Amino acid sequence: DVKVTQSSRYLVKRTGEKVFLECVQDMDHENMFWYRQDPGLGLRLIYFSYDVKMKEKGDIPEGYSVSREKKERFSLILESASTNQTSMYLCASSEEFDNEQFFGPGTRLTVL
Amino acid sequence: QQQVKQSPQSLIVQKGGISIINCAYENTAFDYFPWYQQFPGKGPALLIAIRPDVSEKKEGRFTISFNKSAKQFSLHIMDSQPGDSATYFCAANYGGATNKLIFGTGTLLAVQP
């Protein structure tokens, strides 16, 4: 079974802090994705990566950056957390030419 | 053109009834239409998917109906069960190596016993 793990299930941070969300997948997938999920807005793509050290902006990249130094690991970085970044963050991965995305359990981030 | 519009936002169905969730899109370049199911505390998981070359796909109690000319697709859950209570997301994708998905806003389904 494909497994996508996220470093924390719940996280509470202060405004202005630098926040790291980590995601690891164990199926040697080329593609990895970061989404945020908000009620009434669905899943919105923040960034994705189709190879090590490669990244592309999604629909809402402002205030976020990413890092992919190893194929299995994709990190989402909030350089200076703000209250409007309070959300559920979901990581996903997929094979290069396969449409199915496999999701992690999510990290619920609260920024106070 | 990049949006996928999903309705209703929430749905209450009696056990044994039919649940129907609808989605509409504008971009005719989309070539893959999945439905994801998400239980509380879990990430979404692929439920069923369809490509535009067929009008219907059925897997057990779950059916996707696809209307290419109307640019609409829907999920039908037959004989709905309390265990089907979850949030359902439609999505669309126009292929390529990166396989980006564009998601609808989600439907919270509650199946009452």
What residue has token string 């109307």? B70
Q: Mind telling me how many Å the CA of A102 is from chain B's nearest CA?
A: 7
Confidence of residue A55 (pLDDT cuts 50, 70, 90): very high
What percentage of chain A reaches a pLDDT higher than 70?
98
Confidence of residue B97 (pLDDT cuts 50, 70, 90): low
What is the pLDDT of chain A when averaged over all its residues? 94
pLDDT above 90 for A86 = yes
Contact in structure between B39 and B108 (CB atoms under 8 Å)? no
Cβ–Cβ below 8 Å for B43 and A103: yes
B104: chain A residues, CB-CB within 8 Å: 42
Q: Give the C-alpha separation, B100 to B93, whole Å.
A: 6
Q: Mind telling me how many Å the CA of B48 is from chain A's nearest CA?
A: 10
Q: Which residues contact A28 (CB under 8 A, 6 or more apart)?
A: A71, A72
